[in-house]
Amino acid sequence: MALPTSIESLLQSEVIEDALYRDEGLCVLGIFGKSAMQAGPPKESLINTLADKHIFPLFDGLQPTHVDDGGSLIQAYYSQENRVLYLVLTSVCDNRQLLRACESLSAGVGHSDAHEFWKGADKQHCLHLLYLFSLCHVLLLVHPNCTFDVTYDRLFRALDALRQKVLPLIRAAIKDCQVSKEWKVNCRPCPPRLLFVFQMNGALKVSGGNGMESGNPDKPKKHSPRRRLQHALEDQIYRIFRKSRVLTNQSSNCLFTVPANQAFVYVVPGPDEDPVGALLGHLRSNCTLHEQDSNTSISGPRRYQQMRRSARQPYFSLDSSGMSIVGQLVDCSLKEFLWQHVELVLTKKGFDDSVGRNPQPSHFELPTYSKWAQVACRIHQVIINNTEEETAELAIKVQSQLKVLEGFLDADAKFSENRCQKALPLAHSAYQSNLPHNYTTTVHKNQLAQALRVYSQHARGVAFQRYALQLHEDCYKFWSNGHQLCEERSLTDQHCVHKFHLLPQPGEKPEMDRNPPFLNHNSRGRSTSSCNCGRKQAPREDPFDIQSANYDFYQILEEKCCGKLERIEFPVFQPSTPDPAPACNEAARPPSETSGPGEGEKLKDATAAPSSMAHSHTLGDSTSLSLALSLGQSTDSLGPYGDGDGSEGQVQHKRPSLVDRQPSTVEYLPGMLHSGCPKGLLPKFSSWSLVKLGPAKSYNCHTGLEQPGFLPGSSFLLPWDLVIRSRSEEDMGLAEPLDGGPSSWPAPNKALVGKRGSTGGLGRSRRRDDVARVFVGFEYEDSRGRRFLSSGPDKIVKVLGPGGAKEPATRVLNTDMPLYIPSPAQGRGLKPHYAQLTRLFIVVPDAPLEITLNPQVQLGPPPSPLFHPEQTELVLPPDGLWVLRFPYSYVTDRGPCYPPKENQPLTNYKVLRGILRATTGSPPPQ
């Protein structure tokens, strides 16, 4: 073989052997180790020295073509004349392969991924070493300095443990090979002998070259400093390996052996200061004719024996290291040091390296190249690279045994695991500190973040992420094992106080003993609320669903109070099938998504209409006369958008209803009805209520509402005086808009009744029955049951003397009334209490007057939806005290609308103006 090649190419190709050497055995010499950051390849250059040929390049070396993922490569060179097969292992321990491995790592690789890469490279390096230890007779360990690396002790112990694990698999792979039984049992031709080659560095240079100490010049040393260093290294290595039991008395049980009576350490001298002189010296030594050289030609067997001896004859260099000094032994060359061990192999003497009282001889076999190649190919398929199906299963099993290497080689991971295991209890303590028995997800995440901070202060290394995930799992298991609080929040934004539980089915009783228990939600929050009509108060639990908040509680009180009162029922879902289904959430989209461009504009105009209606149909002055009446215009049917112009008022139309088609009888609306709901869907129950307490005369303006819970002086409704047609005007067919806007001006030559000298009353020439008085009251109620009526967005009705409320209702009808206002009776705590708009009282007189009810509630800034009852533009019958009960809670398809927090503005929660609108009607028949 003229050039070195990879082991894969060597085993796949057919080596043409000389007939003289075909039947002779060969010695397999393996070379491995580390190399320093220098230009020349030190391991490959040793083969150049041993073979006396320029086989490997001095600077670049062989370019690897079969490098595996770990960066390991075995190069082979077969010297047939010397009967030696050289196997050189190049791995990440060498500078060239280390640079290639670093280049293969991308810049964004994390610490853990990089550690996995290097750990994989170490495993591949160990597999290639095991391959060499299974096939070589002699192994040469090359080290770039003259200090023994104690990490080899751990490496060899890991290799020995791995070899014991994979021995049955290698036996199964080579059972059909034509080798001896001992080789098949021990899976190697012999226990390999390990030799050490160290590189001399500049720290051990001897000045003068005489080898004599300056203290006693008369007593020269027997050995040179280099040989004394070799002896010291031999003693150190032997003690280390014997103490760690890498070497034992019986060589057949060891991974390798060292000779007992021969040198097994060689220190290569350092480079001379004059490299040109050194090269000239090597040239002279190689060109010198030795005495045994003869020009006579010899033929036959004697010629072969002489050629073999001459090829194996070591050549000694003529440098200063090989010269004899007075009283000192001559240092041998590297080839002479190595060839004494190779000769034992080629002469079939073998190695007898067992020691002790009863040394057992070890097996030895000198195979031919063909037999060795057969075994090497099988072991290569199992250990390094599998390409055959018959050995695929064995190769997979070998890879599964690599876990035994982690305990020996991965010292970083072992240190990291020890640190992380010590940090875990500290992190668990930080997580469980100051924890209640049951807590929510937010508390769990906060405590987990604190535990991770403590963990990151103590944990280090590659196991950080794995134990951090374990900390996540441990904390979650602790939380979910009886410490998890129910995550459900009530409609008032209060947490359920129970631990994690399931809801009982309708009709079932709660069961505390089950795991998880069957319980109803409870936030331990209680409040006091009034019934639909407001005449009875009762405590209520904090609701968790819209039905219990807006329907069930009031149904219970209806049986005790207002069940027999006259009421106006709002339309609800009427099923036509026994199992109706709720409408899909996808259908409940904003109007801009559910309708086309034309319908969106119409709906936009419809939502903007209440403000104009409220402006045009609420009276600015309770006793002002209509300009239309004075000008003789006919305004029998005033439009909601009228501004005093009769022609415009006649072309206006009412606000389009959101439910324009027949309601569905198959699907129902799961939540509350609002402007974003699809058309044609109704809820199963109404969250609104409209009842009649009695006739209009049942309200006494001097005493106010006689119901419980009202603050003193705050139960008086606000008057709303509306001008209706007189008898003389009925014949003329005139009417007047009753909106109190700019069109309501006094007629010419008519004085208004009121205070003397003022224009705020009716004219004396008009009769008293031309004015109808409506009473309106916006009632607020807080969680403690304290109730009061409001005369404006920031004002509470307070009547101290007799006569009732003096302020007109135009202010509350012309403005957006807040849904929440601060309660006038705050508690001792810092948290403010809010009172919520719960009822609207309307006293409709027995007069030719139509009062249209159209409530709209907005919770949040636009484009938040507008909540409204299931029937809009509702005309209240005359002669009655009507009570509109607002919902207790508001829910959309996206979830509940919680009450405002302390830092949220209350102006976004409001009832839009235009809730009441008055129009004149035909007089009742006489």
Best CA proximity match to 841, nearest among 916, 914, 775, 917: 775
Better-predicted residue by pLDDT, 736 or 570 = 570
State pLDDT tens for residues 111-150. Answer: 777 777 788 888 888 999 999 999 999 999 999 888 899 9
What is the rounded distance in angstroms from the CA atom of residue 214 to the CA atom of residue 227? 19
SS3 875: strand
What is the rounded distance in angstroms from the CA atom of residue 864 to the CA atom of residue 855? 16
Other CB atoms within a 10 A radius of the CB of residue 80 amount to 18
Q: Which of 417-426, 460-469, 757-766 has the lowest mean pLDDT?
A: 757-766
Q: Which of 219-223, 482-486, 522-526 has the lowest mean pLDDT?
A: 219-223
Q: CB of 910 within 8 A of CB of 717?
A: no
Quick one: pLDDT band at residue 725, thresholds 50, 70, 90?
Answer: low
* CA 363-367-372 angle, 5° bins: 110
Quick one: pLDDT band at residue 841, thresholds 50, 70, 90?
Answer: very high
What mean pLDDT comes out for the span 166-193?
A: 89
> What mean pLDDT value characterizes the chain?
77
For residues 60, 66, 70, 75, the Cα torsion angle rounded to the nearest 10 degrees is: -60
Identity at 530, one-letter amino acid code = S
Residue 6 buriedness (CB in 10 A; 0-12 / 13-18 / 19+)? middle
State pLDDT tens for residues 865-890. Answer: 899 999 989 999 999 999 999 999 99
Q: CB of 64 within 8 A of CB of 128?
A: no
What is the rounded distance in angstroms from the CA atom of residue 819 to the CA atom of residue 546? 18
138-143 and 193-199 beta bridge pairing: parallel
Q: Which of 330-344, 550-564, 882-896 has the lowest mean pLDDT?
A: 330-344
- In angstroms, the first-to-last Cα distance of the chain is 134
Residue 387 has pLDDT above 80, yes or no: no
State pLDDT tens for residues 67-105. Answer: 554 556 888 888 888 889 999 998 888 777 787 778 777
Identity at 683, one-letter amino acid code = P
Count of positions (residues) in the chain: 926
What is the rounded distance in angstroms from the CA atom of residue 227 to the CA atom of residue 238? 17
What is the rounded distance in angstroms from the CA atom of residue 688 to the CA atom of residue 672? 10
Residue 57 has pLDDT above 80, yes or no: no
Residue 361 neighbours by CB under 8 Å, 6+ apart: 352, 354
- Calculate the alpha carbon distances from 653 to 603, 613, 721, 744, 868 in Å: 14, 11, 25, 21, 20
Q: Which of 182-191, 201-210, 306-315, 410-419 has the lowest mean pLDDT?
A: 306-315
pLDDT of residue 769: 53
227: left (phi over 0), alpha (psi -120 to 50) or beta: alpha
State pLDDT tens for residues 434-468. Answer: 999 889 899 999 999 999 999 999 999 888 989 99
Quick one: pLDDT band at residue 636, thresholds 50, 70, 90?
Answer: very low
What is the rounded distance in angstroms from the CA atom of residue 84 to the CA atom of residue 88? 13
What mean pLDDT comes out for the span 803-819?
A: 89
Best CA proximity match to 407, nearest among 155, 225, 139, 166: 155
pLDDT of residue 290: 53
pTM for the full predicted model: 0.58
Q: CB of 710 within 8 A of CB of 623?
A: no
* CA 331-335-340 angle, 5° bins: 90
Residue 18 has pLDDT above 60, yes or no: yes
Identity at 821, one-letter amino acid code = I
Phi/psi for 437 (5° steps) reads -65, -40
Residue with tokens 């490279």: 121
pLDDT of residue 640: 35
Quick one: pLDDT band at residue 829, thresholds 50, 70, 90?
Answer: low
What mean pLDDT comes out for the span 355-376?
A: 85
